[in-house]
Amino acid sequence: MATTLLMPKATAVWLVDNTALSFEQIAAFCALHPLEVQGIADGDVAGGIMGVNPIQNGQLTREEIEKAEKDPNYRMKVSEPKVRVAAAKRKGPRYTPISRRNERPNAIKWLVRNHPELKDAQIMRLVGTTKSTIDAVRDGTHWNTANLTAMDPVTLGLTSQIELDLEVKRAAKSGGLPMEDEPQGTMLLTAEEAMASANRSLAPQEGEEGSADVHEQDEFDADSVFAKLKSLKNDANDDSDE
């Protein structure tokens, strides 16, 4: 996974002054326009910016530079950091850019409508708002209620889908609601319940008992029929003998 280059213009200044790389190569590595790199070389751009050595800060290697100097078509890649620093946990409400702040009431309306199980503190964490704003949107007393439209906060860029799903799961768990991905445990039966269940499984069912009676009745009827036929045959033989 590529890392973002730190101080791209200062890095470009150093690369222009200390390497034989082309403007296109430096521009591709620093995410700048080739004309901007040319302006740095001419002194028209980035005046007063001190160059930063990307080799010292571990974002580029000397071997990578030499490889690019030998091949003008080669594009350098930012080196992976050797040490991963854990991101600091956010405390307090989420910071929302000014351009997105007017969308927060729409996101609140969507959350209140689609996830009523969410607590006000959770909505505050998701969209970076205040409890008074949440109450105003929920009660319909917000100054812009007539123009509010319920919109997904993920679509608005106020939060991520992962954070939203996490808060919804927390709300469902604290509210005692069954969670879809939560495995359901099995209940152990008591000794009495186990014995009763075994007896029920061994006892003949109504359908089976009825079929046995029918079968016995069929056998009884068959015997009587054969006996009657035998008596009729004997009578016929007696008549022929006479």
- Give the DSSP letter string of 71-89: -TT----PPPPSSPPPPPP
**What pLDDT digit, counting tens, does each position of 40-78 carry?**
888 887 777 888 899 988 889 999 999 999 999 999 988
How many angstroms separate the Cα of 45 from the Cα of each of 9, 193, 225? 9, 85, 118
- Give the DSSP letter string of 170-194: HHHHHTTPPPTTSPPPPPPPPHHHH
Is residue 196 classed as helix, strand or coil in its secondary structure?
helix
Q: Where are the domains of the chain?
A: 8-70, 98-174
H-only helix segments in 43-115: 62-70, 98-101, 104-114
Who has greater pLDDT, 27 or 241?
27
User: Which residues, in sequence order, are CB contacts of 110 under 8 Å at separation 6+?
Assistant: 150, 151, 152, 153
Report pLDDT for 214.
Answer: 45
CA 99 to chain centre: 27
User: Phi/psi of residue 68, each to 5°?
Assistant: -70, -35
pLDDT band at 86 (very low <50, low <70, confident <90, very high): low
Average pLDDT over residues 13-33: 92
Structure token pair of residue 23: 């403007």
Report pLDDT for 188.
Answer: 52
The residue among 6, 15, 8, 2 whose CA lies nearest residue 31 is: 8
User: Which residues, in sequence order, are CB contacts of 95 under 8 Å at separation 6+?
Assistant: 128
Based on C-alpha coordinates, what's the Rg of the chain? 42
The residue among 123, 116, 111 whose CA lies nearest residue 152 is: 111
**What pLDDT digit, counting tens, does each position of 164-223 carry?**
888 888 888 876 555 444 444 445 555 556 566 666 665 555 544 444 454 445 444 556
The per-residue b/e assignment along 52-84, b for 16 or more CB within 10 angstroms, e otherwise, is bebeeeebbeeebbeebeeeeeeebebbeeeee
Structure token pair of residue 24: 């296109």
- Which pTM value belongs to this model? 0.38
Structure token pair of residue 46: 């980035």
Give all strands (DSSP E) within the chain, no chain letters.
none
**What pLDDT digit, counting tens, does each position of 119-149 carry?**
999 999 888 889 999 999 999 999 888 899 9
